[in-house]
Amino acid sequence: MDDARLISHTLRFTSAVRDCFRDMLGVEMPPVAPGVEIRDFSPSYSMVAMIHFTGAIQGDFAISLDETTAARLIGAWSEGMDAVAMREVRPDFGGMLKELLNTAVGQSLPALEEEVGRLAYHPPLIVYGELDAPAIPSGNLTLEADAGPLACCVVLDEAGSDAERMLKQAVADLRRAREEVESCTRVLDDLLQQSRTGRLPEAVRLEAERVLLEVRVHAGATGDSFLFD
């Protein structure tokens, strides 16, 4: 994983999230720390809103915060709210976060697409409680508002692009191997032509015929016809 790429896109996404909170809710959110923390993805707080994207690479844009913070952001929090009352206002602050996240991702994704090509992103989802996520590197930056802290996170999983590179390398290796087999086959044919004029020892001629027969039998078994041209 390229840490520089992860840091760059985490900073861009966090900036977009800050702009959205300011424009949509009139809330300022300065960062708590000046730098991006790189670690395995794990939500920092009890609630996470996230959008997954796929393409040459895959990953997530995520916002993590406590439910009380989310409720305060839209003015729905009051002291003494129990779990039942909090669930009743989930559609309100959940809907706000989905809309905000959609906008922030729409502003952030084009820069990533310039590097890796076209990406498709899924509708936002919200997870309440624990999230057992795979160990994938993520960039994290925490913002602070009067309502409470909020963590912005970008997850980039380059396993797909690594597999693509490995596949291309394997294809290139196979093509080189095929060219070498074709070259060796032509050499053996030339040797057999010379043997008919008596220029080669009998043992060399027999060995050439044996090897050429083995290669052609194998080619016939695998459906490759280039050795029979």
pLDDT of 228 above 50: no
Reply yes or no on whether the pLDDT at 16 is more than 90. Answer: yes
pTM for the full model?
0.68
Q: Which of 47-56, 163-172, 195-204, 212-221: highest mean pLDDT?
A: 47-56
The more confident residue out of 92 and 34 is 92
67-121 per-position pLDDT tens digit = 999 999 998 888 888 888 888 999 999 999 999 999 999 999 999 999 999 999 8
List the one residue out of 4, 5, 38 whose CA is nearest residue 137: 38
Bridge partners of 144, per DSSP, are 149
- Chain-centroid distance of CA 42 in Å reads 17
Q: Which helix (H) or strand (E) holds 152?
A: strand 148-157
What confidence category does residue 212 fall into, taking pLDDT thresholds of 50, 70 and 90?
confident
What digits encode the pLDDT tens for the residues 48-74? 999 999 998 899 999 999 999 999 999
Mean pLDDT of the chain: 83
